[in-house]
């Protein structure tokens, strides 16, 4: 019999899962729900929500009769102010980990600190964080970028606090920490990287080590999904599929497989992962339903 194991960290992280549930809950209570930008980059979820009348909109287009959901990335204070002015009802689905960064940014910049943030300047999360700073704030994307920034601006007479985008690369952060110490030894440093992504990658690698075949479920254009596949490719044969239909369509050879692992990118809903798992069981027609990977590892 073949064993199938779905990674516990497959799919949505805590913050995105929470935000998606908040939108669906609101739908049960009221009409005219909009989200500030797509709640998640998954076409299935977006079209399901659109079929239920939930659209993504821009803060400048919000009207008084709408209920506006703020997504997990969070937004700056200016957005809250605009929404309050319009008088629309606001449901805040900002991930609590991001909200914590907002709090630090607001407090520290209120105390006169310059805020430096490791991340992607154009990302909505970074724009949201900067929108909670009352003073100077700067973004750097890499160690080189940080060095250039401290050389260009003279922070020597200023108090500095350093933060990170939740999805910032951990290895890059570690390297940057040496530079923080060298150039700004007095700076207050907050490692605000969220571990959801690295935990998903770590578990996928563990599964891939034990499996004959790995299936990664996710958008064919999603970078975090491709990253998962690349990690698993190092240990076993790995396929990337968008959904159950994609699994049926791909020319995967399951003969002889004894252990198949499944993980999924950050934008893949649980029901799609479930469908892939069920389709896989049907294709194999010989699955050990009792199998538990953790118990197996302990043996």
The reply to whether 223 sits in an annotated binding site is: yes
CA distance 211 to 216: 13
**How many alpha carbons fall within 13 Å on the CB side of residue 137?**
26
Asked if 71 and 37 touch (Cβ cutoff 8 Å), the reply is yes
Q: Can you list the pairs that 278-282 forms with residues at least 24 positions away whose Cβ atoms lie under 8 Å?
A: 278/244, 279/244, 279/247, 279/248, 280/4, 280/215, 280/247, 281/4
Minimum CB distance to ligand F3S smaller for 35 or for 166: 166
Angle at alpha carbon of residue 156, lines to 152 and 162, rounded to 5°: 80
Contacting ligand F3S within 151-190 (CB under 6 A): 166-167
Q: Kindly state the smallest distance separating residue 124's Cβ from ligand F3S, in Å.
A: 12
Residue 132 is given by DSSP the state T
- Catalytic site includes residue 125: yes
Q: Which of 125, 152, 206, 298 is catalytic?
A: 125
47 assigned ligand-binding residue: no
User: Residue with the closest Cβ to ligand F3S?
Assistant: 15
Complete DSSP assignment for 37-98: S-SSS-HHHHHHHHHTT-EEE-GGG--TT-EEEE-TT---HHHHHHHHHHT-EEEE---HHH
**Which region, judged by CB under 6 A, interacts with ligand F3S, from 79-87, 103-111, 192-200, 233-241?**
192-200
Determine which helix (DSSP H) or strand (DSSP E) holds 296, and give its type and residue range.
helix 293-298
Residues 79 to 98 in contact with ligand F3S, rule: CB under 6 A? 95, 97-98
Among 4, 5, 10, 16, contact with ligand F3S (rule: CB under 6 A): 16
Per-residue binding string, ligand F3S, 117-156, x by CB under 6 A, is: ----------------------------------------
How many CA atoms, within 13 angstroms, populate the side-chain half-sphere of residue 121?
A: 9
Q: Is the Cβ of residue 66 or residue 192 nearer to ligand F3S in the bound state?
A: 192
Q: Does 40 bind ligand F3S (CB under 6 A)?
A: no
In the three-class reduction of DSSP (H, G, I as helix; E, B as strand; rest coil), residue 22 is classed as helix
Q: Considering the rule CB under 6 A, would residue 101 count as an interface residue with ligand F3S?
A: no
Of residues 4, 10, 13, 36, which one binds ligand F3S by CB under 6 A?
Answer: 13
Instruction: Identify the residue among 67, 72, 169, 225 touching ligand F3S (CB under 6 A).
Output: 72
Residues 6 or more apart in contact with residue 241 via CB below 8 angstroms: 215, 216, 217, 247, 250, 276
Give the residue with the Cβ less far from ligand F3S, 94 or 109.
94
Is 166 known as a binding-site position? yes
107: which 2 tokens?
């407090």
Structure tokens belonging to residue 196: 């959801």
Pick the closer one to ligand F3S by CB: 167 or 281: 167
Q: Given the complex with ligand F3S, which of 257 and 265 has the nearer CB atom? A: 265
Please say which residue, 95 or 240, places its beta carbon nearer to ligand F3S. Answer: 95
190-203 burial, b at 16+ Cβ within 10 Å, e below that, comes to eebbbebbeebbeb
Minimum Å gap between C-beta 190 and ligand F3S is 14
* Residues near ligand F3S (CB under 6 A): 13-16, 72, 95, 97-98, 166-167, 194, 196-197
Residues annotated as binding site?
A: 13, 41, 73, 95, 123, 166, 194, 222-224, 267
Binding residue ranges for dimethylallyl diphosphate = 41, 73, 123, 222-224, 267
Active site residues: 125
């Amino acid at each position: 019999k073949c064993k199938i194991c779905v990674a516990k960290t497959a799919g949505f992280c805590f913050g995105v899962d929470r935000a998606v549930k908040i939108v669906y809950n609101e739908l049960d209570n009221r009409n005219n729900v909009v989200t500030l930008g797509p709640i998640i980059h998954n076409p299935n979820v977006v079209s399901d929500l659109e079929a239920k009348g939930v659209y993504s909109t821009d803060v400048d287009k919000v009207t008084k009769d709408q209920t506006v959901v703020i997504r997990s990335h969070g937004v700056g204070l200016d957005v809250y102010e605009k929404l309050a002015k319009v008088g629309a009802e606001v449901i805040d689905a900002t991930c609590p980990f991001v909200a914590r960064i907002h709090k630090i940014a607001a407090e520290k910049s209120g105390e006169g600190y310059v805020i430096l943030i490791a991340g992607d300047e154009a990302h909505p999360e970074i724009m949201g964080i900067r929108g909670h700073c009352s003073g100077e704030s700067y973004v750097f994307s890499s160690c080189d970028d940080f060095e250039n920034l401290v050389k260009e601006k003279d922070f020597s007479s200023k108090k500095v606090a350093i933060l990170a985008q939740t999805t910032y690369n951990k290895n890059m952060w570690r390297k940057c920490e040496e530079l923080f110490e060298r150039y700004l030894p007095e700076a207050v440093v907050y490692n605000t990287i969220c571990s959801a992504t690295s935990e998903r990658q770590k578990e996928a690698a563990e599964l891939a080590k034990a499996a004959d075949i790995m299936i990664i479920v996710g958008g064919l254009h999603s970078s975090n999904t491709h990253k998962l596949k690349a990690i698993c490719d190092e240990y076993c044969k790995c396929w990337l599929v968008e959904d159950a239909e994609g699994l049926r369509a791909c020319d995967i050879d399951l003969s002889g497989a004894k252990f198949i692992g499944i993980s999924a990118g950050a934008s893949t809903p649980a029901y799609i992962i479930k469908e892939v798992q069920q389709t896989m069981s049907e294709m194999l027609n010989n699955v050990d339903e009792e199998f538990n990977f953790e118990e197996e590892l302990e043996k």
